[in-house]
Structure 1
């Protein structure tokens, strides 16, 4: 059934694995049979925030996808990052429990800039679900601004049958990244805010700074003042400045723990580029190894 918006989007967006849906478009298609909606709300400083918010009201039909419980594996202090990738078998069980089939249309949202929804999008792509997956443009704030209601009704969902395997070609380990440092053919971008990139502040991890050779590409710069994604041509210009003539396949995205990095990967695809590589462990994993270099300042 994939193709929720075919016929209503520009062709370049239909062909991309990164697709957006507006609140009005979702509201008009909310009763589409088999549509899966996932509420991905979360707060790094309050791990129960998403579940509480979901219980207080969600888009009708939405199931809750918890970053820590569902979209991440167990964090091991001193070894992994804060949000390691989940076990593929456990992730598949979540997908199926949420009602996802191979041909399902899936809409993802949160109430921030979309980074948690983008993590869910990337995990679906990692496991092979690359068609019919949409981010709600502007998230729950745009939904509210459109005057659309929330619901307290439990989702009525039949289990799905989606089955896939992880594509490890789009994931980079810390050791492999370390071996590539200094190579001119790699484009390494950091999705954290500039102050964290420079090392001026570090609210979440014990060491401040960034991976040597990285460029700051704060994920919030993918959005306009209204909280919606920039047009594809503006995103192309943004990432072309980072690539500096290198092929898009050279790009590796990281952040603090492998979540906001997915926002940049989504925006990159929205701009018409192919899906690039995620350093899933990101900064919180990188700093566990005393042999890993650390840089501070502008770059």
Structure 2
């Protein structure tokens, strides 16, 4: 059996040392980029490899392509292959933020053409609540080859701009409501959102325990948000193309596949003053 959206800690515990499975620690803090690697060095799930959001799951920035541009797909495939990931490997990603960063690896692998990837529901926090073990050693693996079959799952700022106002186009922003309105913006130089965007805070996908809510609830809420637009015409954005993947995962859980990622998201969009902006916050 393979897993393509979520996996429970109980299932992962049963497969923790399965040679056909690979686990990746994706913990990260936007305001402290070294926090994830420190946490990993302190303790992590047994056998887990570490991937850094900035260094492994993103490409170089140039001031115009957002804070977390997509990595080179072949370089990412090589890094995953070095950890033993092949096309038939079951990959599990986890973090300590409700899947906010683990879902980025989930989406990236699907972009590469690898469907056997899931997020650990509840992350390391759920794992610890259930009294499961941690480790401190760094794992090793025989290298594998991960072949890339890149999918057309990404859209560009030009494509978004050309689609604004078109019937059926649905742009969904995963940032917190206050940042969506342009309030308390501390990560990007401009506050606000893309005209016509609808707000769906990624944390609304989670229950009080930090696990994903039932598929039926997610489906009902995303269908209301789509308002008749087919999922294939939806585009997910956020601040930099990271938590937008959380909404993409939630839609997949809800049985609404096909939406695309605007990888540059707000941080790319607002880097060009010619692009239109909506800011509901009062001027400072």
Per the shorter chain, which TM-score range? over 0.9
Deviation readout 1:142-180 (Å, 9 max, x if unpaired): 01111111101221311121111322x211110111011
CA distance in 2, matches of 1:250, 1:114: 24
CA distance in 1, matches of 2:117, 2:25: 14
Residue of structure 2 equivalent to 1:289: 272
Residue of structure 1 equivalent to 2:97: 112
Q: RMSD of the TM alignment (CA)? A: 1.2
CA distance in 1, matches of 2:164, 2:2: 41
Instruction: Report the alpha carbon displacement of residue 30 of structure 1 after superposing the two structures with TM.
Output: 1.0
**Given the alignment of the two structures, is residue 68 of structure 1 paired with residue 54 of structure 2, yes or no?**
yes
Instruction: Report the alpha carbon displacement of residue 4 of structure 1 after superposing the two structures with TM.
Output: 4.3
**Given the alignment of the two structures, is residue 153 of structure 1 paired with residue 137 of structure 2, yes or no?**
yes
Residue of structure 2 equivalent to 1:11: none
Choose from 179, 190, 197 the match for 2:173: 190
Choose from 94, 108, 114 the match for 2:79: 94
Deviation readout 1:224-258 (Å, 9 max, x if unpaired): 11100001000001100111111111110000000
CA contact (8 A) 1:24 1:146 kept: no
Deviation readout 1:257-276 (Å, 9 max, x if unpaired): 00000000010001011131
**Given the alignment of the two structures, is residue 264 of structure 1 paired with residue 252 of structure 2, yes or no?**
no
Residue of structure 2 equivalent to 1:219: 202
CA distance in 2, matches of 1:30, 1:275: 31
Aligned partner of residue 101 in structure 2, secondary structure = helix
CA contact (8 A) 2:168 2:228 kept: no
CA contact (8 A) 1:239 1:268 kept: yes
Residue of structure 2 equivalent to 1:241: 224
Q: State the TM-score, normalized to the length of structure 1.
A: 0.92
Aligned partner of residue 24 in structure 2, secondary structure = strand
CA contact (8 A) 1:88 1:165 kept: no
CA distance in 1, matches of 2:159, 2:215: 31
CA distance in 1, matches of 2:238, 2:125: 24
Q: Which runs of 5 or more structure 1 residues have no equivalent in the other structure?
A: 6-16
CA distance in 1, matches of 2:262, 2:2: 31
Choose from 166, 178, 187 the match for 2:150: 166
Choose from 244, 259, 265 the match for 1:276: 259
CA distance in 2, matches of 1:92, 1:42: 21
Residue of structure 2 equivalent to 1:23: 9
- Runs of 4+ aligned residues of structure 1 deviating over 6 Å after TM superposition are none
Deviation readout 1:92-151 (Å, 9 max, x if unpaired): 111101211110011100011211100000100000001x21110001110111111110
CA distance in 1, matches of 2:184, 2:224: 26
CA distance in 2, matches of 1:275, 1:115: 20
Aligned residues: 281
Residue of structure 1 equivalent to 2:235: 252
Residue of structure 1 equivalent to 2:186: 203
CA distance in 2, matches of 1:240, 1:276: 13
Residue of structure 2 equivalent to 1:10: none
Instruction: Report the alpha carbon displacement of residue 282 of structure 1 after superposing the two structures with TM.
Output: 0.3
